[in-house]
Amino acid sequence: MKKLKELYNREYALKTFYVVSAAMLIFLLGWFVYYLFGQIGGAYGFIMAVLKPLILGLVITYLLSPLVKKFMEKPFGSLKKPALRKIAAVILTFVLVIAGWCLVLGILGFTVTRSLSAFSFADIKEYVMLMANQFSKFWTTIEKQLASMNISLGSVGDMIGRIFYGLKNGATTLLFATIFSIYFLLDDSIRRYWKSTLEVFTSESTRAKMSAFAADADRVFSGYIRGQTLDALIVAIMSSVALMIAGVPYAIVIGILTGVGNLVPYVGPVVGFGSLIFVCLAEGSVKILIIGGIILALVMLIDSNIINPRMISSNVEVHPVLVIVALIAGGRVGGVVGMLVAVPVAALLKLQFEKYVDKKRRKRAEAEAMTENGVDTGTETGSETLTGTSAGA
């Protein structure tokens, strides 16, 4: 016992106790953070599952509300009850939107079936099996190459399962978003409620700033969406007609895909040339590939230098480098939807930054002007004082 007391050192014992306690505390904190983030991750997934259709519904409402307002004036302006006018306008708007999508899908289906009508059922079956085998071999080669780098993508079946799962979730989100948008278009009580709530919790100056920001956002987003949609429509028509004249197979399909891809900057050419290459390789025609490539290149050249600047530049002025950065960030955050809204968001942020810089510049100019006026006034006063003194002498 005496030897143990001699070996015992209080200072070292305390240090050991502190080290062990700190290690246990770090372990417990790490476990708690891991558990907390697991719960937060589950809550985040649940919240996003609810917010996605809600946000998409608000976007659909924003896009369709101008059309609803026009229909409330014409042809339903003669209806006496405002609620009845709004119901009729909303119904007509969604009928036209659904009819437009059905028309596009019908054109695509007609083009594909007409092209496939030249083949017999056995030929189509053989072609599909050949393409499936080629794709399977291609995917297996990619898996082997990635496996050599310790990267796994899963089997083709898993990939197809993920695609169908994503399509199911997308269809469900779109369905609920449509229901939300119909409700938002018909009911103005939500807007009135939040407007009255803001009046209680914010000052008049804050509401003025928020109104100015909302006006800027509306101008940028509406201008960009309107211009980009018209630009995509023109590109789709030009590409389809030119490719049909040149005798390119599935010309309408390629043109529509090019136009849809053109909704996102720099994506339209990739989609257009990619679909053209796929079709021409399937047909085994290098000549058509060259002709179609020249046509698409000319369409993109006309679009980038004439059509697109006239459609969008008056509302959205963003440097190409900023556009690329915004697309990367938008795709990382929100996927395809994020890429669609990345450019107007970047344009809005750029506009707000320029306003802030102009405000600071005006304040500095005013301060410099006041300083110069003060110096001039002081100099004049000193001169008058000296003049008076000389006269008195």
Nearest to 264 by CA among 307, 305, 232, 233: 232
Which amino acid appears at position 267 of this protein?
A: V
The pLDDT value given to residue 78: 82
Is the residue at 19 inside a domain?
A: yes
Nearest to 252 by CA among 106, 72, 66: 106
Asked if 230 contacts 311 with a C-beta cutoff of 8 angstroms, the reply is yes
Is the residue at 255 inside a domain?
A: no
Range of the structural domain that residue 24 is part of: 8-46
Return d(Cα 45, Cα 41) in angstroms, integer. Answer: 6
Asked if 186 contacts 87 with a C-beta cutoff of 8 angstroms, the reply is yes
The pLDDT value given to residue 95: 92
Is the residue at 16 inside a domain?
A: yes
**How many domains, the chain?**
1
Which parts of the chain are beta strand (E)?
none
Task: Return the DSSP state at 202.
Answer: S
Return d(Cα 15, Cα 273) in angstroms, integer. Answer: 69
Query: In the chain, which residues have pLDDT < 50?
Result: 4, 386, 389-393
Is the residue at 235 inside a domain?
A: no
Task: Return the DSSP state at 1.
Answer: -
Is the residue at 277 inside a domain?
A: no
Is the residue at 118 inside a domain?
A: no
Query: What long-range pairs does 318-327 form, CB within 8 A, spacing at least 24?
Result: 318/343, 318/346, 318/347, 318/350, 322/346, 322/350, 323/265, 323/266, 324/266, 327/264, 327/265, 327/266
Is the residue at 381 inside a domain?
A: no
User: Per 3-state DSSP, what percentage of the chain is helix, strand, and coil (rounded to 5)?
Assistant: 90, 0, 10
Is the residue at 249 inside a domain?
A: no
